[in-house]
Amino acid sequence: MADALKPGGMGTAGADLGTMPADFAGSMAESMEDAFDQLLAIDNMNTFARQTNSNDARDRRRLLVAIAQGVVRHLVDHPGALQVSFVDEFGNTIVASVTINADPTLLAPS
């Protein structure tokens, strides 16, 4: 089976302040945070502490987790909306459906 989409989670508030929550690590939301941090650095702006579960980190991550969970929830709820289409070597158009595997424990209820 393919890897499941991991949208990301917040972890427990006040827990493990010196580490990134396991629900967030390796997630779509963490990838968004990586991109955000890189864009700040490119523009010579202050970047932020990453390996933390501080209130500041949670405030920043809340939006990223919500966006990632919303994207994954939408894909799970509307699997027919995502298709891959290509033309083979004979000129035939091939349309393939895509199966969405998501970690249900990290999706907010819809």
Of 109, 8, 108, the closest CA to residue 57 belongs to: 8
Overall average pLDDT of the 21-28 stretch? 92
d(CA 64, CA 107): 13
d(CA 83, CA 96): 6
77 band by pLDDT with thresholds 50, 70 and 90: confident
What proportion of the chain, given as a percentage, has pLDDT over 90? Answer: 46
What radius of gyration do the chain's Cα atoms show?
Answer: 18
Q: How far is CA 103 from CA 6, 36, 57, 107, in A?
A: 6, 24, 23, 7
Q: Is pLDDT of 89 > 80?
A: yes
Stated pTM of the model: 0.79
**Tokens matching residue 67:** 């966006």
1 band by pLDDT with thresholds 50, 70 and 90: very low
Least confident range from 11-20, 55-64, 68-77, 93-102: namely 11-20
Domain residue ranges of the chain, discontinuous segments joined by +:
28-106
Of 110, 14, 4, 101, the closest CA to residue 53 belongs to: 14
**SS3 category, 106:** helix
**Tokens matching residue 13:** 């508030």
